[in-house]
Structure 1
């Protein structure tokens, strides 16, 4: 294979940065939602308000006073619906919270008109200094580099890429670069030339079935499409055609086995490790084996679009378009997907806002690939509608803001003696809630980790760290695509 076969621009975790052109949101975005200004105000405030940064900062800053960097990472909100439950650093979701921090850092560095948007009273709002946020980004990732050595999981793309790609992109951090390359090779070690795909799970146990012997079963899931971005990136960076070949082969195998004729998706496919033949297709998180788990469908949209960006192969673009059309066609009237797109809907059926955010990011990539065309405008409109509907039902009204507090203390100052603090040199940055409601730790709620009837444990109707991550990523992608102008981001406070 020639190296120029994959000589395309890297599109890590969304779209390539540094490309700012148009300002303002196209009128097509809101043509089905009434007033364009009404749509942009609600969505823009939700995406770029001071409150969003303050909410993430509030969680991250809890680790600042510790003598050692974090080893536990936020995943979902618990029984109270508000407070994060944490998981160990080797859990598959550990990379998303640091990834969110890096997305906010990227906004400060590359889009200063966002970080300096004015408050309602025309005073510049208080913001963390860039170096403070950079410190938190590094503090929250110090212990995550070791995950790059793991060869017992397919989730290296989720664990490493959300923060390490941004660290390399923004700072040319050599440690992040090394971890990305190592993680890619660790992931590639799970490829089978017989099955022509990466093994997702070594084992899988529910109340209905049990797979405990990897020599007998080769399980791969639709989620794994999101880990290919790491392989394609490393292939380009190190001119390694083998990594490219592995990623391309997996995408093609997934396209063959995970996509049904009606363009819905299977969650799990079990292959015979000796022959590559299909043994079974079933679900681990959806309603049934034949239903369409919403987040799995969303993983497919975004994953196949990322693969198209790296390869330029139309088969992946066509697949992503078909999956997106299915997703859109199976949304309820209010526009927020249920946890399973084809499950019977009853009063207690949970939603999954994480599926909405992932799918919206995938649709933005469809817009980028297809513009200028009516089809591109349609996917942009649908992406904005997904976020708008989610914001309307499952994002709290922004109430947080940063406040600079001056300690009531004195210090010795050369020539002047002992004086009261008279400037902001020693001010303390705090987060204040304007309405004093019970705060949720997450930006977005209404997500569902797993509502499968036979799951060992079912979680639904909660906040979820990767719902927040893809919500923030969507905002950065709008900026990178030039779809947001300065005027859109001068959002007032409550």
Structure 2
């Protein structure tokens, strides 16, 4: 369950000047090095504060006073901070980041048994799986056990992994029976990897079933996706199509489109099912042909928000999308996918979105949105915006060196 922190709306500054910013003068060849240097400085300040506290703290965002907000291990965002340190280790080869990543990853050990929400794919995928891919083979058992825990949420009649329990918090007021959110596509990588690590095809089959059902029911004719689809557990039929974090049930929530393009690109990686690749392309076409997408490619929080252009942008949605496009570019010959990702990264690297060192709660990116309908995390830094931005830098670096993105 997404235990979002209450943050009041702050004034949003128009970003129309982005292409004229002096920082766009950074040579494209140096953009990775420049961003890595910036990230190292910010995260050094961030981790020094935590280390001096004598506690293991997990920063997620800032409040209206600019104070860093820390979260418990069972918060859906708890994997992104250690995940960012794994990426800093991969980008710098500095063992300082490896040691910190291990420390903050292993603090999440208990999550492998968590069954009351679906976000364990984010939590363990960002932390333990990245650690495993960077050499910590002893993390294998945690990854497989987490997949077992996630699999308890699979509802065979509907063919989906249930996202939220309907007897908790605000979800209990919505009248849902088996809500599934588009974000859930981001959990499937963990299941696919668990099959690879364990040889148990159960995880793979659950992931494919969920991807297929989501493909059937979440997308509209224009290839945008809704946020929430609620299923009848007795017969698997769709009960409702709604939103929780978007502007309206029929609107297009920006980060939801990012989860969709990323999720189906990952599904293609493991299955080579061309339907998934085609869906990722369709979502790309929807996003980047949308007349309400700003020229700098950093979307408003919802494409149908009523006060565009005076609506908050969502840098997190842009970072997730760009990262997906770097991978998508490896499966398709068209250069536009990488070129689009590069343009997003270049724009996120300007002062319009990248914070000055020592500001912004020591997060890298500014101007993300958690949930405007809940009045939470509006125009603030978010740890997952940083995480996917660092993932962009790593994927871009590897691609341009002729290496695999993973």
> Same fold judged by TM-score > 0.5?
yes
Q: Measured at CA, do residues 51 and 241 of structure 1 come closer, stay the same or move farther in structure 2, by a change above 3 Å?
A: same
Match of 1:383? 341
Please tell me whether the aligned partners of residues 83 and 441 of structure 1 are also in contact (alpha carbons under 8 angstroms). Answer: no
Determine which of 236, 256, 275 is the counterpart of 1:276: 236
Question: Cα deviations across residues 124-150 of structure 1 (Å, max 9, x unaligned)?
Answer: xxxxxx343222112212320111100
Q: Secondary structure at the match of 2:377?
A: coil
Structure 2 counterparts to residues 309-388 of structure 1, below 5 A: 309-330=269-290, 331-346=293-308, 348-370=310-332, 373=333, 375=334, 377-388=335-346
Please tell me whether the aligned partners of residues 64 and 136 of structure 1 are also in contact (alpha carbons under 8 angstroms). Answer: no
Please state how far the C-alpha of 1:484 moved relative to its aligned partner: 8.5
Please tell me whether the aligned partners of residues 204 and 211 of structure 1 are also in contact (alpha carbons under 8 angstroms). Answer: no
Paired with 1:451 and 1:469, the residues of 2 have a C-alpha distance of 21
Q: Secondary structure at the match of 1:88?
A: coil
Match of 1:169? 133
Match of 1:198? 161
Q: Secondary structure at the match of 2:362?
A: coil
Please state how far the C-alpha of 1:167 moved relative to its aligned partner: 1.8
Paired with 2:27 and 2:63, the residues of 1 have a C-alpha distance of 31
Paired with 1:282 and 1:439, the residues of 2 have a C-alpha distance of 33
Please state how far the C-alpha of 1:108 moved relative to its aligned partner: 2.8
Paired with 1:439 and 1:317, the residues of 2 have a C-alpha distance of 37
**Segment of structure 1 superposing worse, 274-283 or 382-391:** 382-391
Q: Secondary structure at the match of 2:70?
A: strand
Match of 1:147? 111
Paired with 2:209 and 2:259, the residues of 1 have a C-alpha distance of 18
Please state how far the C-alpha of 1:307 moved relative to its aligned partner: 0.4
Structure 2 counterparts to residues 401-416 of structure 1, below 5 A: none
Asked if 1:186 is matched to 2:107, the reply is: no
Asked if 1:444 is matched to 2:365, the reply is: yes
What is the aligned residue count?
378
Please state how far the C-alpha of 1:298 moved relative to its aligned partner: 0.2
Please state how far the C-alpha of 1:205 moved relative to its aligned partner: 7.6
Paired with 2:338 and 2:167, the residues of 1 have a C-alpha distance of 37
Aligned-residue RMSD, C-alpha = 2.4
Please tell me whether the aligned partners of residues 327 and 341 of structure 1 are also in contact (alpha carbons under 8 angstroms). Answer: no
Paired with 1:208 and 1:87, the residues of 2 have a C-alpha distance of 20
Structure 2 counterparts to residues 233-312 of structure 1, below 5 A: 233-312=193-272
Please state how far the C-alpha of 1:439 moved relative to its aligned partner: 5.3
**Segment of structure 1 superposing worse, 331-340 or 317-326:** 331-340
Asked if 1:44 is matched to 2:32, the reply is: yes
Question: Cα deviations across residues 236-295 of structure 1 (Å, max 9, x unaligned)?
Answer: 111111111100000001111111110000000000011100100001001110010000
Q: Secondary structure at the match of 1:64?
A: helix
Q: Which protein has the larger Cα radius of gyration, Structure 1 or Structure 2? A: 1
Please state how far the C-alpha of 1:208 moved relative to its aligned partner: 10
Please state how far the C-alpha of 1:166 moved relative to its aligned partner: 2.3
Determine which of 95, 110, 127 is the counterpart of 2:79: 95
The structure that is helix-richer by fraction is: 2
Paired with 1:170 and 1:42, the residues of 2 have a C-alpha distance of 25
Match of 2:101? 137
Asked if 1:78 is matched to 2:38, the reply is: no
Q: Measured at CA, do residues 56 and 314 of structure 1 come closer, stay the same or move farther in structure 2, by a change above 3 Å?
A: same
Paired with 1:147 and 1:258, the residues of 2 have a C-alpha distance of 28
Please state how far the C-alpha of 1:334 moved relative to its aligned partner: 3.2
Structure with the bigger RCO (C-alpha within 8 Å, sep 6+) is 1
Please state how far the C-alpha of 1:86 moved relative to its aligned partner: 1.1
Q: Secondary structure at the match of 2:234?
A: coil
Question: Cα deviations across residues 369-394 of structure 1 (Å, max 9, x unaligned)?
Answer: 11xx2x2x111111111222222321
Match of 2:14? none
Paired with 2:331 and 2:336, the residues of 1 have a C-alpha distance of 13
Please tell me whether the aligned partners of residues 89 and 95 of structure 2 are also in contact (alpha carbons under 8 angstroms). Answer: no
TM-score, normalised with respect to structure 1: 0.72
Paired with 2:67 and 2:372, the residues of 1 have a C-alpha distance of 20
TM-score, normalised with respect to structure 2: 0.87
Please tell me whether the aligned partners of residues 218 and 272 of structure 1 are also in contact (alpha carbons under 8 angstroms). Answer: yes
Listed as ranges, the gaps of 5+ residues in structure 2 are 1-23
Q: Measured at CA, do residues 309 and 136 of structure 1 come closer, stay the same or move farther in structure 2, by a change above 3 Å?
A: same
Match of 1:17? none
Paired with 2:167 and 2:402, the residues of 1 have a C-alpha distance of 43
Please tell me whether the aligned partners of residues 205 and 211 of structure 1 are also in contact (alpha carbons under 8 angstroms). Answer: no
Match of 2:40? 53
Please tell me whether the aligned partners of residues 77 and 441 of structure 1 are also in contact (alpha carbons under 8 angstroms). Answer: no
Q: Measured at CA, do residues 285 and 46 of structure 1 come closer, stay the same or move farther in structure 2, by a change above 3 Å?
A: farther
Please state how far the C-alpha of 1:45 moved relative to its aligned partner: 4.8
Q: Measured at CA, do residues 46 and 259 of structure 1 come closer, stay the same or move farther in structure 2, by a change above 3 Å?
A: farther
